[in-house]
Every structure is written in structure tokens, then in C-alpha cells.
Amino acid sequence: MTDLTKLTLAEAKAGLAAKTFTATELTRAHLDAIEKGNGSLNAYVLGTPEVALAQAAASDKRIAAKKAGALEGLPLGIKDLFCTKGVRTTACSKILDDFKPTYESTVTQNLFDAGAIMLGKLNNDEFAMGSSNETSAFGPVVSPWRRKGKDGKLSDAKLVPGGSSGGSSAAVAADLCLAATATDTGGSILQPAALTGTVGIKPTYGRCSRWGIVAFASSLDQAGPIAKTVEDAAMMLGVMASHDPKDTTSVDAPVPDYVAEMRKGVKGLRVGVPKEYRVDGMSPEIAKLWDEGVAWLKAAGATIHEISLPHTKYALPAYYIVAPAECSSNLARYDGVRYGLRVPGKDLIDTYENTRAAGFGKEVKRRVLIGTYVLSAGYYDAYYLKAQKVRTLIKRDFDEAWAKVDVVLTPTTPSPAFAFGEKSGDPLAMYLEDIFTVTVNMAGLPGMSVPAGLSSEGTPLGLQLIGKPFDEGTLFRAGKAIEDAAGRFTPGQRWWLG
Amino acid sequence: MHVDEQTVRRIARLARLKITDAEAKGLEAEISGILDWVEQLKQVDTDNVEPMTRVVAQDMKKREDVVTDGAKADDIVANAPMTEDHFFVVPKVVE
């Protein structure tokens, strides 16, 4: 039998329908790959083989009874930010300790209702704060990709898989799941997708329910998938998205058939290229990739238009007020009383302070303190309110652009994947990783990263598509055109399987 | 914007985070650096600009004021570090 882990989600679905293999066989193939490969990659922080095999057996019965759901029998990885009933959920922070939710997040419930299988919980930066997965309490994730030297040999230097959804991106790229859930607050789906040659989509704010997802910055957080192909991402989002009365910010709008949307092609589509994204210090390879992306879309029948998004440069500094402010507020709940870690002190306040000092990592503490500072007495207007007004201007830039174009094309990241420790010494250098992706969170717009080429070091590079609110369908159309032109990119040698 | 060590300690107290002397020193430089960098927002004219609240205009959803969930005391205390009879147990607060 062919290696079932190499299949795409769509191919696996077809194979199950044709009875070429069973959900149990498909699940076992992935569990074996995790067993062999996770030691080197650290993509999963918790394997759930018993859950997976029980779900697979139930799926096989439903397939036999011709009652298969949209993702019936398809094994997925779940980011550890999603609460999973009875299964340890930590947001990769020590402060959640051995937390076992007594409820299921809406997004994972939607996936399970559609027949999907959970292989385990995936690593991420602590509370999704980071761009390299180096802040996880479980240690960093290693990218399955390696740099190629001038002699053509693969280097042993460990590369980061991006972050915060680094477990999701690495597991998908390394075939340790067919697709994965992820979340994005400032680029945490798009940037890791770009660095691992995978497809990621962050839908419009409100498209997926945030209920049961560990909160970081509530006005920015949004769930989405990381997948092997554009079609796979469309299949995933179609199930993950829903209106949910339990999340007042979730939007009551029908979820289109994204796979059908994707097939519509890009003939006549108006593509905007924002001049403000040609930033100083952009790697020449990235600039070249962007030009290629423009050429591909043009060749597929789209028209190209230069646009201006003048407030782009203010998105990242505004983000680093809004996100820490909301994080300091959301993370106030971790007090050692109701769940998670408790480190006793001489009185209640001492217990709070000891617990939070021991439970939070360095980056989380830094953001809690910045957030507390900008929200402290006398500073609210100067920082948080100012940043929220800048958001209005960023969104207005896009509103004006939508009069001329249907979709915007930019690079996903300013540079290719980097090695462990290369940027972790300087918080600002790490924050710049998100310079192109953070605008979609600030404006609440949908964004997608599609693999588009390889750097001179042989590591993947991605292009970003930004769409109108709730127009994810157009992102899938344009993403498919780029994928058709660029092809798929996989790490080649599967060194992690040993 | 320079944030001195005393301010770092004050906000750490507000955030209920115990920090060591070495951490306070390091954070003084890091937080000052980040706040200096966000100063560039001052260049943006935001007079007469409303703060953004949501992506697509939408009225706040309301629901009937009825009990739809509850009777889950076991679930609620299931993950607590210390409990007694469905109560969370904490160090003595009132003498």
C-alpha cells in the first residue's frame, strides 16, 4: 500500500470513499509516523491515540452505513489552544498545568461532528505569543525543512517552523497529520504556513467561533486551518466556520462551499499590489517571488492594479499596544484559584504573585506588563484608544482599495525561515516577523498564505492574499491559481522518521 | 518613553507578578524600547476618528434573559488546585 501519510486531505477523503483503505488504517499510519517522527520535531505536546482509534472505528461504521460526514475518518492535529473535553489543554503554558476542560471548543466540536479524527494536541508559542514557537513551555518545535548548503547537502542547523502555530505548520509539512487547526492573532497562521510550505487561512474576524479557544487578544483572535493544499484548507474552513450563539462576535452568515468557490478561477479578478509593502530590508528573493506571483495571476486572467495602503507602517506598533493590553486583561484569570497551577504564598496576593511568576514564561510576562502599563490610570487614551483609532484608519485604507480591487497580493513574511535563537534575543526583531500579516488582524480581514517558491537556501517562501470581509471564497480562487502555477513544496528527505 | 525600575515594579504589582531584581532591570530596558517604538503612532492624525470596534457593522446580539445552562458545580471545580464542597479554597483573606 502507498504511504497514507503522503496523501492530501482531499485524496484521503476520496480513498476512504472508494474503500481503498479504512479510517482505522489511515489513522494508524499517522499514529506510526508520529511515534517515529515526533521525537525529532516536538510538534505534538500530547498524543491521543486511544481517542483517535475510537473515533476511527466509529468513522468506519458510519462510512459502511453511508452516513459519512464532510471530514469523515480524516486524522487531524489540534492546536493546544483549543479546549478538548477531557483531554489536557495547556496553551503550552505551565500555568494551565494539567487542565482538562469539561467542555469542547465549538471549532473542534464542528470538526468532530463532521467525522474528523484527533491525533493529538499540537505545540504552539505560550498562549500563542511568539513567531518561532520558541516560547512554548514544552520546548520549541523543529521545522521539517532544512537549509541546503552550496554543496547541495542539507544542514543540520535546526530551523523554526514559525509561530505561534508552529506545531500545526510542522506537523502538516512533515505529514504527521492530514491538516491541523490553528489560531491567528497577529500572523500566527500565515507566518508559520509560509515558513513550512503549507497553506494557511485566517478567516474574517467573526467567521469561526472563539468559544473554547484559550483567549489571547479577544478583538484579534481567530481560528483557521493549516493544510497541505488550497483545496484542503477550503475543506477544513467550511467545517470550522459557523455561527455560534456562545460567541457574540461570531457572525450569523451562511458558510459558502469554499471548494466550489475555489474552482471558479481568477479570470477578470482585480488584484491589488500595495506599494507600501516594498519595505526597506525586504530580501531580494522575496521581492522576486512577489513579482512572480503577480505574473502568475496575470497569466491566469486576473488584472493587476497598484494600490496604496498608507497606514500600513503603523499596523505593527498599534498591534503591540492592542494585543498586550487585551492579553493582560484576558490572562488576569490565571490566579491559581480556579484551575491550573498554584504556588502557595504567605497570603492570597502572595499566592497570586508566586503562581503567575512561576507559571508564565518570559514573553508572556513582558506582554502582560506592557499591557498593564498601557491600560494603567492616565494612559488609556494615549495608548489603547489611540491604537484603536489607528485600526480604523488601517481598515479605511482597505475599504478604499476595495473600490478598485477584489483581492490584495503581498509577501507573507519579510524573510525566509530562520534558525533557533537567531531572533529570540531581541523582542523587536521577532515582532517584525509579523510586519506583513498583522494588518489583516488589525483590520479584521481574511488572509491566506500560499507556498510560492523556495529561497536560495532551499527553504519555503509564501505569498499572502488579503480579501474583503467574509470573502474567503476569493482568497481560495486566487490561492488556487498561485498553487497551480507554483506547484507544491515538500521537505523532500524525511529525516525526522529516522 | 523611559520606564524606570520603580515603574516596572509598580506595574508588576498591578499585574500580580512577582519579579526578581534581575528581571526588573532587564524589563526596564525592554519595555522602554518597545514603548519608544510605538511612539511613532503620534505621527498619525486621529482627530475625529472613531476607535474601531468591529469589522462589519453589527448590532450587539441579545438573547432572552433566561437560564440556559448551569447545575455544573462538579465541572466548575474539577480543575481547581484546592476545593471543599464545591468551594474554591484560598488562603485566609479576612482576619
Distance from CA of B71 to the nearest CA of A (A): 13
In a domain, A46, yes or no: yes
Please give the average per-residue pLDDT across A241-262, as a whole number: 95
Please indicate, yes or no, whether the overall pTM of this predicted structure exceeds 0.90.
Answer: yes
Q: Which of residues 130-169 of A touch B (CB under 8 A)?
A: none
- Look at chain A and report how many structural domains it folds into: 1
Q: Which residues of A are catalytic?
A: 79, 164, 188
Q: Give the residue numbers spanning the domain of A32.
A: 4-262+475-497
How many C-beta neighbours within 10 Å does residue A137 have?
A: 21
| Interchain contact, A427 vs B33, CB within 8 Å | yes
In a domain, A74, yes or no: yes
What CATH number has the domain bearing residue A162? Answer: 3.90.1300.10
pLDDT more than 90, % of chain A: 92
**How distant is the alpha carbon of residue A462 from its chain centre?**
13
Using the Cβ of B62 and the Cβ atoms of chain A, whether some distance falls under 8 Å is answered with no
A324-350 tens-digit pLDDT: 999 999 999 999 999 999 999 999 999
Q: Residue B2 has what pLDDT?
A: 84
Question: From CA A179, how far away is CA A171, in angstroms rounded?
Answer: 8
CATH 1.20.272 correct for B5-43: no
Grid cell 532544512 in the structure block, residue = A146
Chain A residues near residue B53 by CB distance under 8 angstroms: 388
A2 pLDDT above the threshold of 80? no
A30-76 tens-digit pLDDT: 999 999 999 999 999 999 999 999 999 999 999 999 999 999 999 99
Q: Assign A1 a pLDDT band (cuts: 50, 70, 90).
A: low
In a domain, A370, yes or no: no
Smallest Cβ–Cβ distance between B90 and the set A339, A348, A372 belongs to A348
Q: Assign A279 a pLDDT band (cuts: 50, 70, 90).
A: confident
Please give the average per-residue pLDDT across A296-308, as a whole number: 98
Q: Residue A253 has what pLDDT?
A: 92
Q: Residue A22 has what pLDDT?
A: 98
Torsion of CA A122, A126, A129, A132, to 10 degrees: -60
Chain B's closest residue to A100, CA to CA, is: B79
Higher-confidence residue of A212 and A415: namely: A212
Locate the domains of chain B by residue range.
5-43
Please give the average per-residue pLDDT across B28-46, as a whole number: 94
Q: Which of residues 378-407 of A touch B (CB under 8 A)?
A: 383, 385-393, 395
Using the Cβ of B22 and the Cβ atoms of chain A, whether some distance falls under 8 Å is answered with no
In a domain, A140, yes or no: yes
Smallest Cβ–Cβ distance between A337 and the set B11, B38, B90 belongs to B90
In a domain, A493, yes or no: yes
Q: In what order do the strands lie in the sheet with A303-307?
A: A44-47, A117-122, A75-79, A179-184, A222-227, A199-202, A447-454, A460-467, A407-411, A270-274, A303-307
| Interchain contact, A356 vs B15, CB within 8 Å | yes
A170-219 tens-digit pLDDT: 999 999 999 999 999 999 999 999 999 999 999 999 999 999 999 999 99
Q: Assign B56 a pLDDT band (cuts: 50, 70, 90).
A: confident
Please give the average per-residue pLDDT across A261-269, as a whole number: 98
What is the overall mean pLDDT for chain A?
96
Q: Is A382 helix (H, G, I), strand (E, B) or coil?
A: helix
Distance from CA of A253 to the nearest CA of B (A): 12
Please give the average per-residue pLDDT across B25-32, as a whole number: 92
A92-135 tens-digit pLDDT: 999 999 999 999 999 999 999 999 999 999 999 999 999 999 99
Higher-confidence residue of B62 and A237: namely: A237
Within A174-313, where are the H helices?
190-196, 230-240, 258-262, 284-299
How many C-beta neighbours within 10 Å does residue B21 have?
A: 9
